[in-house]
Structures are given as C-alpha cells and as structure tokens.
C-alpha cells in the first residue's frame, strides 16, 4: 500500500471551504490534474463556499482557489489554484478496465483532520446507482449513476480524493461513504465516481462549455434567503418554514428581526409579510448585498424579474440562473407596507450551488 501512496499522494490537495452565509466551514480533498493548478474535486466539497483554499500535500503550500465550474447532477467540480505552477499531477488510470475484486486504496483528508489517510479495500461492484446524503450545504441528497463500489472505508473529508488501483493509478474519485452501525455484520461501503467520467466533465468545464447540468464559474447572486419549493403563496411559504424552523416559529426571537444577516445562524421566519398573494417571500437579506443596497428586507415579496412574473422560490431561482455575475436586472418587490418598488440590481458572484 505504501508504494501506491508514494505514487498518488504528491498530486493531492487538502481543500478547506468557508461557507460564510451558512455559518459553517467544510473540508475535503482534491486531485491535481494539471501542473498549473487545475484540481478535480466533488461539487459537494465546494458547494455554497464563499472562500476556498487548497494546500498541496507534497509542499505544504496553501493557495487561494477559484471555482471554474461544477456539475451538480454528477457531483464533479473543477477549481483553479491561483498562482500555482509546476505542481505534480496524480497518475490517471482507465476506470473502464476496473473489475469487481480488484484491490484499491482510497486516499483523502479523512474527517477533515488536515492529513491524508489511506483506506485499503477491493472493488465490490461497478456501475452502481446510489442516493448519497450530504452532511452540509443545500443538497440534502443526490442520485449518482455509474459509480464504483468499494469496501474501502471512505469517510467524510475523503470526498474528492483518489481511489487508486494496485499499480498506483487513479481509477475513481472518492464521493460517498456509508457507515456501518454497531452490531451489523457488514463491511464498510464506499463509492467513487469513475475517473473517466469525472475527467470528461472537468474537460468540458475547462473548455468553458456550459450545459443543462454543467455551470461555468460562479452563479449570479442578489443576497437573499428564501424558502425552497413550488408554492407561490408567500403566507404558505412562511408557514411551511415555521413548521421546521429551529428558532421558534414565526417571528423567531419575539419578532425582533435584524435588518440584514451575515449568515443564516439566527435566521428567523418573518413575523410580518408583505400583502402580496403571489411571489417569493424574502426570509432575510444578506448585509452589503445588492438586495440590501436596494432596500429589501425580510418579509418583502419579490413579484417579478425583468417584468416576468415570479411565483414560487423555485421559479425565482430558475429565472436568475439564466444570468451571469455582472449582469443588471430589474426586480419588482412589495414591502411590508404594501408599496411596490422596481429596483435595478447589479448581480454579483455568489457561492456555487
């Protein structure tokens, strides 16, 4: 196993993410695939991040990182280490050749400890479909297809790291692990995206080719917290969130809401809602964001973007997804007093979705 580690580890990075607007931090792993600092990792490692750094294991040097693009449905992302040159790349194999029973070693920043730990095992299945639950971010679960299954013990933090064959060639990208409860007579189960699949997505991102599943660069951002879902009634949106709100239902702490938020740590469901029958309810506004500059507050309701009617939060998100950071949009919204305003907002770069 040490021979495999010696071949693969020099091309690995430890990724740390700041998730500012969600009052969280994250840790994962990445693989250098280009000496100038292109790094392959999972989308769920960079999802919702407002700041990324990557530490090259071989040198201990830490670089700021930029998201070049991501595929949410395939859980693949490509990042660039700013100012990096002359990096060692991971040795890449051919995942099409891997068969059940083949010995493998999973490497990664296990449990975010800041060091690379190996886990040996074998391939127990190929072309598997799984539903993986994420321990953070907005994606609660995702269905992934064509996965490699292994009994190597893949744990949180390993995500984005290499699954290597006995020759030290990377055949997969560690993505999901399944812990075994005490008393069960079963082996650990881990899953990896075949490296051929992951690199195909990375190549498309590097070429700047967006698609129905691949996003290039950072998404547009106006700086608001909204509900999820397809209900277009703002009152119903509030009730739905109050049912699952950890801060005491409508109005939170006695209804004393801040004018803006720096994270969602104390986000409250608005106690007062603008009198609009349809639109997306703003739960809160992020400080120093375009929405805050326009005067929007929690409890206001967005009713249109560029003149297009907005109902449910899902609709607002799909409309905004068509724009890029730097674009200008007009947003029509109703405030708590029932006054309708149309504001021009300059979209800024937001955290990856």
What are the residues whose beta carbons fall under 8 Å from the beta carbon of 264, sequence distance 6 or more? 21, 22, 23, 225, 284
The answer to whether 209 is a known catalytic residue is no
From the candidates 49, 95, 159, 164, which is the catalytic residue?
A: 159
Catalytic-labelled residue, pool 75, 153, 158, 283:
75
Tokens 């400080």 locate to: 287
And the tokens for 242?
């109050």
Contact at 8 Å (CB) between 150 and 123? yes
> Which of 44, 48, 95, 134 is an active site residue?
44
Q: How far apart are CA 262 and CA 268, in angstroms?
A: 13
Pairing, β 24-34 against β 12-19: antiparallel
What letter would DSSP give residue 58?
T
By DSSP bridging, strand 301-305 and strand 348-349 are unpaired
What does the alpha-carbon distance between residue 263 and residue 23 come to, in Å, rounded to a whole number? 5
Q: Determine whether 181 is an active site residue.
A: no
Q: What is the dihedral of CA 47, 48, 51, 57, to 10 degrees?
A: -20
- Confirm whether 145 is a catalytic residue: no
- Residues annotated as part of the active site: 44, 75, 159
């Amino acid at each position: 196993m040490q021979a495999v580690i010696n071949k693969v580890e020099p091309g690995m990075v430890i990724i740390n993410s700041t998730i500012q607007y969600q009052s969280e931090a994250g840790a994962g792993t990445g693989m250098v695939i280009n000496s100038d600092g292109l790094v392959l990792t999972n989308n769920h490692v960079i999802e919702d991040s407002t700041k990324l750094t990557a530490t090259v294991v071989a040198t201990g040097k830490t670089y700021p990182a930029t998201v070049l693009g991501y595929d949410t449905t395939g859980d693949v992302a490509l990042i660039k280490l700013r100012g990096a040159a002359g990096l060692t790349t991971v040795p890449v194999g051919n995942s099409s050749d891997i068969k059940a029973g083949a010995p493998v070693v999973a490497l990664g920043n296990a449990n975010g400890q800041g060091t690379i730990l190996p886990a040996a095992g074998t391939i127990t299945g190929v072309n598997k479909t799984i539903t993986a639950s994420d321990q953070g971010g907005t994606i609660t679960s995702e269905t992934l297809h064509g996965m490699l299954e292994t009994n190597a013990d893949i744990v949180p933090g390993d995500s984005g790291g290499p699954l290597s064959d006995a020759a030290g060639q990377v055949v997969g990208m560690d993505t999901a692990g399944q812990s075994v409860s005490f008393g069960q007579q079963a082996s650990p189960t881990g899953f990896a995206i075949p490296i051929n699949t992951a690199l195909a997505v990375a190549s498309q991102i590097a070429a700047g080719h967006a698609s129905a599943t691949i996003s290039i660069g950072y998404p547009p951002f106006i700086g608001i917290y909204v509900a999820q879902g397809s209900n277009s009634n703002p009152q119903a949106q509030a009730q739905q969130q109050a049912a699952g709100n950890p801060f005491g239902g409508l109005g939170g702490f006695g209804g004393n809401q801040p004018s803006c938020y720096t994270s969602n740590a104390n986000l409250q469901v608005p106690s007062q809602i603008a009198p609009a029958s349809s639109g997306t309810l703003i739960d809160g506004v992020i400080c120093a964001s375009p929405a805050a500059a326009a005067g929007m507050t929690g409890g206001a309701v967005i009713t249109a973007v560029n003149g297009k009617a907005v109902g449910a939060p899902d609709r607002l998100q799909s409309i905004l997804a068509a724009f890029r950071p730097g674009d200008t949009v007009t947003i029509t919204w109703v405030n708590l007093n029932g006054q309708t305003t149309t504001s021009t907002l300059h979209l800024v770069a937001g955290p990856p979705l």
